[in-house]
Structure 1
């Protein structure tokens, strides 16, 4: 990697601009919960991108908060490699860093205390189940994470990007969640969205999983279910991440960060199962990115080892 800070920063910002255009895909084709607990097929889920004008600030902030968020060494500055847009999603990361951290949580609408507690408990599954050294706690004030249950489907901004959202706007949307929503949906949806808030992108874009998808069948399916044209399907489904990424694990179709894709679009007729809860691979990765206790005794070598967009008036922009 270049030692020139200016060159590094310029490359990071260009990658960030490209990445943000392609990291907001609908991730639950089966739809979101409506207010009465029934499935609403018109509600989708996505990683919400920041407005274009904030990409540069967000990239700088991500590097400042956690230097590991800089592009990986496999990106050779000065060369002109061909990098598919979706492959860039892990070159600019939005992780919070290895220091133990607690993110405060508030709710945009009046929400019963039992429902608030239930939602926060599922956000904390990454701490309680995966052993990650980052947690969520409700606050009576304005939270780092601000949850709405209004229209808009399921979404979260990615990791450190939530710092740029005006305090009167949500950073996570859980359309229609109530106490009558099935526990299985709490695990599948809220834990997935919490993963995005922790900076975890989508598992289903790993090349080994993308290679199972028949493009012709995918075009037909997503046109019918999402209204996507071929270009959108290419960008959101068929352009794989590179094999070498910060994930450092084998592709896992049972990851909570992978969503279900039906057998009707795969070559072998077998579905990509998608994760219903945090699994062992998720837990191991979360504990690596967010260790509960920093291993200060390690030597230096070991230690260093949407289719839609929301905007607001620039006067509301948050200075980070």
Structure 2
């Protein structure tokens, strides 16, 4: 059973988080309060000069396509430079569980490496909070060290490998700066607004405002970098039922990082090490260009 959204208003940051069984909409990305957005932009620009403030367009009055594009918010992007982000856990966690979670975080196989620290990490994981969520990209640097930047409710060594792939890799994508793909304008234009509002109200108890904010408000295309074609199987894509789309076709959503995800991540971040080579068997040659890799990935995905 999915949990209800949890709202926290403590004067520092606000978020809604929802747990993620296969039939629910997935996580809801925590957002910084408006008073911290300017500081967030300053920090992002210091880390990577190409970063620009995040904006969102007006709510679309239409429906959502059955496909999604992987996109990265340029205002949260860590930049094309190899770096290591330290990781710590908020609760006492066994070494085997730490290593298992870390291995899935590093499954993106790019030049942003996640490494355990005995101190307080830049990425801080809790397993007791409600739902699955992560702050976006460089925003993790603004969260107080006493607070988590990622939540993996209830994850243990008994959690299935499929859930590790679906959830941990998805939330790590947010930490890398990837938003939900259903927020691309083309996707939102395929949703039946009234049906979508009713579905999230009846299934998850969301208000109309929550649904419009989390599902029906598109990202400003000027604030993101994205693949040129859509991919409904991306790990960053919500799974949405056909009952809320205008054409009756569901959004399948991704259960693991796919070839297009890998290719796009590699196009904006430096190449990774052996993890990437093992995962991306569609691009084994070191001299294959990113453009060719993306074209090959699209062809494979159909």
- Which bracket does the TM-score occupy, shorter chain normalised? 0.7 to 0.9
Write out per-residue CA displacement over residues 237-278 of structure 1, whole angstroms, 9 at most, x where no aligned residue: 223345664114212211111110011111222210111111
Give the whole-Å Cα distance in 2 for the aligned partners of 1:275 and 1:237: 17
Task: Give the CA deviation at 1:200.
Answer: 0.8
Write out per-residue CA displacement over residues 207-227 of structure 1, whole angstroms, 9 at most, x where no aligned residue: 332222222211210111222
> 1:96, 1:198 within 8 Å by CA — same for their partners in 2?
yes
Task: Give the CA deviation at 1:92.
Answer: 5.3
- 1:234 maps to 212
1:111 corresponds to 2:85: no
Write out per-residue CA displacement over residues 160-218 of structure 1, whole angstroms, 9 at most, x where no aligned residue: 11111122221111000011111111011100100111111111112332222222211
> 1:25, 1:236 within 8 Å by CA — same for their partners in 2?
no
**What secondary structure, in the 3-state scheme, does the structure 2 residue paired with 1:67 have?**
coil
Residue among 242, 248, 259 paired with 2:238: 259
Q: TM-score, normalised by structure 2?
A: 0.74
**What secondary structure, in the 3-state scheme, does the structure 2 residue paired with 1:69 have?**
coil
- 1:84 maps to 58
Give the whole-Å Cα distance in 2 for the aligned partners of 1:66 and 1:292: 17
**Structure 1 segments unaligned to the other structure (5+ residues):** 1-22, 34-38, 76-81, 294-320
Q: CA RMSD in A?
A: 2.9
> 1:126, 1:191 within 8 Å by CA — same for their partners in 2?
yes
**What secondary structure, in the 3-state scheme, does the structure 2 residue paired with 1:137 have?**
strand
CA 1:290–1:85: 2 relative to 1, 3 Å: farther
Q: Point out the structure with max Rg over C-alpha.
A: 1
- 2:269 maps to 290
Give the whole-Å Cα distance in 2 for the aligned partners of 1:206 and 1:109: 35
CA 1:264–1:159: 2 relative to 1, 3 Å: same
Residue among 58, 67, 80 paired with 1:98: 80
- Paired residue total: 248
Residue among 80, 87, 105 paired with 1:123: 105
